[in-house]
Amino acid sequence: MAAPRVTSGLQRVLLMLKNVHFKLGYRIVASRKQYSTVYDPNEKTFEKILIANRGEIACRIIKTCKKMGIKTVAVHSDVDSNAVHVKMADEAVCVGPAPTSKSYLNMDAIMEAIRKTRAEAVHPGYGFLSENKEFAKRLAAEGVTFIGPDTHAIQAMGDKIESKLIAKNAKVNTIPGFDGVVKDTDQAISIAREIGYPVMIKASAGGGGKGMRIAWNDEETREGFRFSSQEAASSFGDDRLLIEKFIDNPRHIEIQVLADKHGNALWLNERECSIQRRNQKVIEEAPSTFLDPNTRKQMGEQAVSLAKAVQYSSAGTVEFLVDSQRNFYFLEMNTRLQVEHPITECITGLDLVQEMIRIAKGYKLHQKQADIPIKGWAVESRVYAEDPYKSFGLPSIGRLSQYIEPLNLTNVRVDSGIKEGSDISIYYDPMISKLVTYGSTRAEALQRMVEALDSYVIRGVTHNISLLRDILIHPRFVKGDISTKFLPEVYPDGFKGHQLSDNGRRELLATAACLYVALQLRSRRFIGNQRVSTSHKEQNRWELSLKLDKDTHAVTVFSTGSLFTVELDGKRLNVTSEWNLASALLPVTIDGTQRTMQCLSRDASGNVSLQYLGTVFKIQVLNRKAADLNKHMPEKVPEDSGSILRSPMPGSVVAVSVKPGDMVSEGQEICVIEAMKMQNSMTAARTAKVKTVHCKAGDTVAEGDILIELGMD
Amino acid sequence: YDMQTFVYPSSKHRQMRGLSPGQTTTYTYSLCKSQRWYAVSHLSVQERIDKKREAARLGGGQARIEAQHKRGKLTARERVELLLDPDTFVEYDMFVEHRCSDFGMDSAQNKYPGDSVVTGQGRINGRLVYVFSQDFTVFGGSLSGAHAQKICKIMDQAVLVGAPVIGLNDSGGARIQEGVESLAGYADIFLRNVLVSGVVPQISLIMGPCAGGAVYSPALTDFTFMVKDTSYLFITGPDVVKSVTNEDVTQEELGGAKTHTAVSGVAHRAFENDVEALLNLREFFNFLPLSNKDPAPVMECHDPSDRLVPGLDTVVPFESTKAYDMLDIIHGIADERDFFEIMPNYAKNIVVGFARMNGRTIGIVGNQPKVASGCLDINSSVKGARFVRFCDAFNIPIITFVDVPGFLPGTAQEYGGIIRHGAKLLFAFAEATVPKITIITRKAYGGAYDVMSSKHLRGDVNYAWPSAEVAVMGAKGAVQIIFRGKENQAEAEAEYVETFANPFPAAVRGFVDDIIQPSSTRMRICRDLEVLVNKCQTNPWKKHANIPL
């Protein structure tokens, strides 16, 4: 059909009008303003695409397919049969039970689904089969298009050593180092000295930061060599080691590339992904505060030359480590759509999924490098169902009893694959959504992100909004002074929630007190003739006592209509709100400052949980009389946590290494819990005899379940 | 004699006099000029009044008050103050004393004005309530003839004006020195508990010991709440148990809050301590109408009545054998997700409690698929029946969520009389004339379908979700009977599922009024309640029905 063409502004408008006429239904929904590229409906494309993925990325891909008029097929596991991506797709095929190895990684079942639905192409999303060359081969064998690079590129970039060699040859900066079989310790040391300390040692075959060891001297090199060579042999059956320059305080900055099958390749600017925990990205932004145009250009050109070197087609990402002097070194290339691709879409206006589909169909890129802008600033927060208080995030599960995305705010994009009522299960990645905000400046994008996080309602699972929001307002982050070590440096003792300033504490307490008063006033408002005493004047002065952590605060509230004046710590605050007690959000204005809080729970005993500045605070509000009498109430003895071992997260028990009657010593491993591919060793808090064992290998446990009870010594 | 002006010194004094706090009260004795002699003696009477009042307020004295506090308990008066709106308590019978003269009881130091109970009326969130609060500091809160008489007085008045009665129980039992007088007192209270039952709500909060015959008063009231660790209810204490049955049991195990809320089902809920219990009681009180002549209360409500609940569309799992939590549905539809559950730890296969829809109090009954597949057994039937009857007695509409695979089979249930007990729930739903709305969320099998507020038992509005299956039994069992001996059981099962495992058989017969999208459930219930608000239905005249007890 019509060849791709560059349209003038007027033509674009006409084209859009035409589109609206064509398929009014979703075009308006789908054409949210983040994409400026216009889809040409006359360009022939695939009839039907199968999306071999789940969750938000499956939904994201389906959205673009709908925009392009392509029919979609979802695959799903049995537990996902009600999932959003299944509902969104035109067709859905169940490919197996919940475990990913039996469903989303089950190539036989997915191939069968492709045959059954006659899908012409497969988009693999990220993760699962996206970088699996075997899968790509099988698709090719059946004449089904794989929406991604060809197997050669997947294979070349999938191998750490090979990719580095190719990069070197393509004149891409690589980290000085050695890769190959290291004979013995002495050779390891001489290599390390040649590179210059510090060096990093790891097995070539190991992915990401797994099994990575850092040596600052000969002694540590010796030790690192011993561990890594053992691991290389035992875990991967591949003796090769990687010894390279270790970059202190590095930033993780990556370049998005887009290449077609005709030898054209573009770089779509960078994404700054330095905020990480356990080598997983937490907050990303585009562009980076750190790159100057020159560095950006150099990085972009090197990324493109690498892509060209492997005849790359489709979207891909070249990851670099950047040191404080803006020296950058090639890390690896991801041959797939990245999780954080939306921020690139925001600043360039391109729809990367649409481009991937076009490229897979064999079209040339519309754009030239000069057409790629950096417009504004975009930030992405990865909202996870996890408890950020436990090592910056241990998975949590549950049913989303309430879920409202902050889409009422402008320039907010939420990529999610769940909705109210969805279950976050132990089987899959605990990501709830990618929250993306966009602004003409970085400050604007960050401010919007803070507002969006405050207005994001997620109930039923523990989430990491407290951590995300606290990072966003941290002075170092605001300045752009970040590195991949940001989290451990800023929170050396782990994240413990937002630390209240005096003013913050006053705002929080004042709001809690006013909420209590609003509730008390409402509880007298019976409608109709309810025989309520009329002789009693409505109370307008409230003497309260608020308990936050261990401290008690005397607070007086004067109420006139919806305006409350609060006296505490010798200060007066004016608090106004609609006091809508059914709304999930609690917007208040405190002395002119607007805050969006959330009341997560409240009970008759005066306990309220308020989400303030992202963090949930528990406050007990009592009237002065009840607080006075509360002094006589007995302290309930909390359970002896040293004797009871509880599961810190939902997961399955991999191994139990003790039985009742065994003696265990402090710190000894008692059992291992696995959740979301992470194994956690549970240890004894003290030396004691095992009293009862409540779990066995293979059991599924919920967070807080008792695993093992210890007796007295 | 000079003109004297008396200003009552504290707000407490004013309050005792039944004067509002804002009123400046001056008592001008010159008004009694013509009866000067009276005024003179009045002064000394006034002194006596003040003294008596002061003594009454102190109860058993400072030492005993401190002992009470040490036990983690509040005094009778502190409890009343916390329960009621500030400055609304009007006390009765502060001067009543016991009349026993045996065992030296008539000595001055054994007389306490008001005796071992504080009684009166006041307001909770502006609404009238009668209260008695037993005073453990006076003879261990033991029940004398006078004590009982005080309680009976407020109960009688509560019925006259139509207001609930709340009892705060903290009593060692009968006043042994008074013998049969004390027993007569108990019986007087029991009789009133029974006569008042169904006229005004009666609530008992057990805040200390409550043993022997005394337990029957709470047992006769509508709701019994307990305070954890400090309250006990039993017929006979651990010592007697040991001597009679040789069982070793602690007070807590025998009659503590945990026992009664989880094992015996005697208590409806337990709270952490006195303060929390009283604050929760205030909240609970707001759900109740004042009497059987008052409609269910309607509170100001901020939750839109037409709110859709998208989460409900996915709450019922695809596999009909998989469990889900009925509370997810209840929280989803209730105003502000607020649900006051009754007996949350007992017979957990049925969920009952109060919520509001568009501000109006409703009673919710729901099978709980998470526990024992939500089947009906002896305990859950009795739990459900009592709750339904309370709602019916006090004009509270009943919303029933049905996911019931049937009655629990087995010798334990049959020997225990499941037929008799199951019939109670059936009886309760059938005789209820308040608005009844039923939603079948999934299974409604066998006789249990009939029982759970079905159309046939005068359900006003009966809905089915698309996941509903109304049938005599599940596919497996049915196929074994209908297709006995047939080779291809799997095919037969599929046929049965196709025919019955859906809402159509019930819908085509009009046994459900509509098949609805789950997310619209709240909106529809709110609308239906508005329609049914003037529902008027009466049962045939009878002295009383004969529920199979």
pLDDT per residue as tens digits for the range A503-512: 999 999 999 9
A700 touches chain B (CB under 8 A): no
B114 touches chain A (CB under 8 A): no
**Which of A85, A526, A635 best probes binding to B when mutated, by most B CB atoms within 10 angstroms?**
A526
Which tokens belong to B51? Answer: 């003294």
CB distance B275–A630 less than 8 Å?
yes
Paired tokens of A560: 């006139």
Cβ pair A521, B126 in contact under 8 A: no
Whole-number pLDDT of residue B28: 42
Candidates A336, A358, A413, A595; catalytic one: A336
Q: Is B428 annotated in the active site?
A: no
Q: Which residues in chain A are closer than 8 Å to B303, comparing Cβ atoms?
A: 582
pLDDT, tens digit, for every residue of A202-241? 887 665 556 678 888 888 888 888 888 877 777 667 778 8
Q: Model-level pTM?
A: 0.85
Closest CB from B72, B301, B313 relative to A634:
B72
**Interface mutation vs chain A, best among B84, B275, B521, most A CBs within 10 Å:** B275
* Residue A587 burial class via C-beta count within 10 angstroms: exposed 0-12, middle 13-18, buried 19 and up: middle
Q: By the 8 A CB rule, do B266 and B260 touch?
A: yes
Q: How far apart are CA A336 and CA A687, in angstroms?
A: 50
Looking at residues A611-620, what average pLDDT do you find? 96
Using CB atoms within 10 Å of the CB of residue B318, give its burial: 0 to 12 exposed, 13 to 18 middle, 19+ buried.
Answer: exposed
**How far B336 CA lies from chain A's nearest CA (Å)?**
5
Give the number of A-B residue pairs with CB atoms closer than 8 Å: 128
Q: Is the pLDDT of residue B34 over 60?
A: no
Residue B208 pLDDT exceeds 90:
yes
Take residue B366 and report the two structure tokens written for it.
Answer: 């729901």
Which residue carries 């001297």 as its tokens?
A: A217
Q: Write down the catalytic residue from B122, B167, B172, B212.
A: B212
**Which of residues 125 through 154 in chain B touch A, CB cutoff 8 A?**
125-128
Q: Which among A434, A316, A437 has a CA at the least distance from the CA of A383?
A: A434
Residue closest to B272 by CA, chosen among A609, A603, A552, A644: A603
The yes-or-no verdict on residue B478 having pLDDT over 50 is yes
Which residue in the set A421, A535, A632 is minimally distant from B313, CB to CB?
A: A421
- CB within 8 Å: A533 and B302: no
Q: List, in order, residues 6 or more apart from B264 with CB less than 8 Å away.
A: none
Q: Is B64 within 8 Å of chain A by CB?
A: no
What pLDDT score was predicted for residue A206? 64
Chain A residues with CB-CB distance to B284 below 8 A? 604
pLDDT band at residue A333 using 50, 70 and 90 as cut-offs:
very high
Do A629 and B359 count as a contact with CB atoms less than 8 A apart?
A: no
Contact (CB, 8 A) for A276 and A282: yes
Closest approach of B549 to chain A, Cα-based (Å):
35
pLDDT band at B19 (very low <50, low <70, confident <90, very high): very low
Measured CA to CA in angstroms, residue A460 lies from A166, A398, A428, A603, B484 at distances of: 48, 6, 17, 17, 47
CB A90 within 8 A of CB A51: no
B310 vs A contacts (CB less than 8 Å)? 419-421
Q: Is the pLDDT of residue A602 over 80?
A: yes
Residues A59 and A5: their CA atoms lie apart, in Å, by 28
- Contact residues, chain A, for B336 at CB < 8 Å: 581-582
H helix or E strand, kind and range, residue B123: strand B117-124
The yes-or-no verdict on residue A306 having pLDDT over 60 is yes
For residue B360, the tally of other CB atoms under 10 A from its CB is 24
User: B353-400 pLDDT, tens per residue?
Assistant: 999 999 999 999 999 998 888 999 999 999 999 999 999 999 999 999
* Burial of B236: CB neighbours in 10 Å, binned 0-12, 13-18, 19+: middle
Contact check, Cβ <8 Å, A629/B295: no
Q: Check: CB of residue A519 under 8 Å from CB of residue A512.
A: no
- Annotation says A336 is catalytic: yes
Q: What is the DSSP letter of A477?
A: H
Residue with tokens 């030239």: A368
The answer to whether the CB atoms of A604 and B318 lie below 8 A apart is: no
Share of chain B above pLDDT 70, in %: 92
Give the max Cα distance, chain A.
Answer: 94
DSSP of A215-274, one letter per residue? ESSHHHHHHHHHHHHHHIIIIIS---EEEEE--SS-EEEEEEEEE-TTS-EEEEEEEEEE
Structure-token match 């047992």, residue found: B219
Put simply, whether B298 touches A (Cβ < 8 Å) is: yes
* pLDDT for the residue B3: 38
Are the beta carbons of A44 and A120 closer than 8 angstroms? Answer: no
The two tokens of residue A309 are 């070197």
How far is the alpha carbon of A627 from chain B, nearest alpha carbon, in Å? 9
B260 secondary structure, DSSP code: I
Indicate the range of A206-220, A312-326, B142-156 predicted with least confidence: A206-220
Judged by CB atoms within 8 Å, which residues 438-477 of B form the interface with A? none
Rounded (5°) CA angle A342-A27-A361: 65
**Which of 631-660 (A) contact B at CB < 8 A?**
632-634, 636
Residue B509 banded pLDDT, cuts 50, 70, 90: very high
Strand stretches in B207-247, DSSP E: 209-211, 223-227, 232-234
Query: Average of pLDDT values for B239-261?
Result: 92
Q: How confident is the model over A391-396, as a mean pLDDT? A: 84
Residues of A in contact with B19 (CB under 8 A): none
3-state secondary structure of A206: coil
Catalytic entry in B213, B237, B265, B359: B213
Quickly state the pLDDT bin for B4 (edges 50, 70, 90): very low
User: Rounded CA gap, A574 and A568, in Å?
Assistant: 11
Q: Measure CA B421 to chain center.
A: 21
Nearest CA in chain B to A528: B298
DSSP H or E segment with residue A445: helix A442-454
Predicted confidence at residue A460, as pLDDT, reads 93
The answer, yes or no, to whether residue A639 has pLDDT greater than 70, is: no
Closest CA relative to residue A312, chosen from A303, A300, A321, A301? A303
Range A371-376, long-range pairs (CB < 8 A, 24+ positions): A372/A266, A372/A267, A372/A268, A372/A269, A372/A348, A373/A347, A373/A348, A373/A349, A374/A269, A374/A286, A374/A287, A374/A347, A374/A348, A375/A347, A375/A348, A375/A349, A376/A346, A376/A347, A376/A438, A376/A439, A376/A440, A376/A441, A376/A444, A376/A445
B69 contacts A633? CB cut-off 8 A: no
Burial (CB < 10 A; 0-12, 13-18, 19+), residue B152, is: middle
Put simply, the answer to whether A604 touches B280 (Cβ < 8 Å) is yes
Distance from CA of A524 to the nearest CA of B (A): 5
Q: What is the pLDDT of residues A21-56, one digit of tens each?
A: 433 333 333 334 456 666 677 889 999 999 999 999
With a CB cutoff of 8 Å and minimum separation 6, the contacts of A167 are A174, A306, A309, A330
Which residues in chain A touch residue B311, judged by CB atoms under 8 angstroms apart? 399-403, 419-421
Burial label, A643 (beta-carbon count in 10 A; 0-12, 13-18, 19+): middle
* Residues of B whose CB is below 8 A from A630: 275
Sheet order of strands, A663-664 included: A644-646, A706-710, A688-693, A663-664
Q: How confident is the model at residue B437 (pLDDT cuts 50, 70, 90)?
A: very high
Is the pLDDT reported for residue A305 higher than 50? yes
Tell me what pLDDT residue A2 has.
Answer: 40
The pLDDT tens digits for A134-143 are 999 999 999 9
pLDDT digits over B192-202, tens only? 999 999 999 99
Contact state of A536 with B272 under an 8 Å Cβ cutoff: no
Q: Do A421 and B282 touch (CB under 8 A)?
A: no
Query: Three-state secondary structure along A674-702?
Result: EECCEEEEEECCCCEEEEEECCCCCCEEC
Distance from the Cα of B300 to chain A's closest Cα (Å) equals 6
Contact by Cβ (8 Å): A287, A270: yes
Over residues A166-198, the pLDDT tens digits come to: 999 999 998 888 877 888 888 889 888 888 888
The percent of residues above 90 in pLDDT, for chain B, comes to 77
Of the residues A82, A403, A530, the best mutation for testing chain B's interface (the one with the most B CB atoms within 10 Å of its CB) is A530
Q: Which amino acid is at B444?
A: A
CA count, 13 A, side-chain hemisphere, A498: 26
- Supply the pLDDT for residue B18: 46
- Which residue is closest to A620 within chain B, CA to CA? B276
- Test A524 with B298 for CB contact under 8 angstroms: no
Buried b (16+ CB within 10 A) or exposed e, A165-178: ebbeebebbbbebb
Spell out which residues of chain A touch residue B312, defining contact as CB-CB under 8 Å. Answer: 421
Q: How many CB atoms lie within 10 A of CB B144?
A: 26
Q: Which residues contact B57 (CB under 8 A, 6 or more apart)?
A: B12, B77
What SS3 state is found at B231?
coil
How far is A410 from chain B, CA to nearest CA, in Å? Answer: 24
Burial class of A655 by CB neighbour count within 10 A (0 to 12, 13 to 18, 19+) = middle
Q: What is the mean pLDDT of chain A?
A: 88
CA A121 from chain centre, in angstroms, equals 28
Strand stretches in B181-241, DSSP E: 202-206, 209-211, 223-227, 232-234
CA A665 → CA A670, A683, A688, B466, distances in Å?
Answer: 10, 9, 7, 56
Q: Are A437 and A491 in contact (CB under 8 A)?
A: no
| Catalytic entry in B448, B468, B471, B506 | B448
Say if the Cβ atoms of A582 and B301 lie within 8 Å.
Answer: yes
Output the six-digit token pair for B166. 């709340």
Rounded to a whole number of angstroms, the CA Rg of chain A reads 28
Which pLDDT does position B472 carry in this prediction? 87
Mean pLDDT of B259-270: 96
Contacts with A580 from chain B: Cβ below 8 Å: 302
Mean pLDDT of A94-107: 93
Does B2 have pLDDT greater than 50?
A: no
Residue B538 corresponds to which amino acid?
A: T
Instruction: State the nearest Cα–Cα gap between B332 and chain A, in angstroms.
Output: 8
Question: Looking at residue A637, what is its pLDDT?
Answer: 75
Number of Cβ within a 10 Å radius of residue B385: 25
Among chain B residues, the shortest Cα distance to A539 is held by: B86
Contact with chain A for residue B318, Cβ under 8 A: yes
Q: In the annotation, is B213 catalytic?
A: yes
Cα gap A490→A485, rounded to integer Å = 9
Cα torsion A58, A62, A63, A68: sign: positive
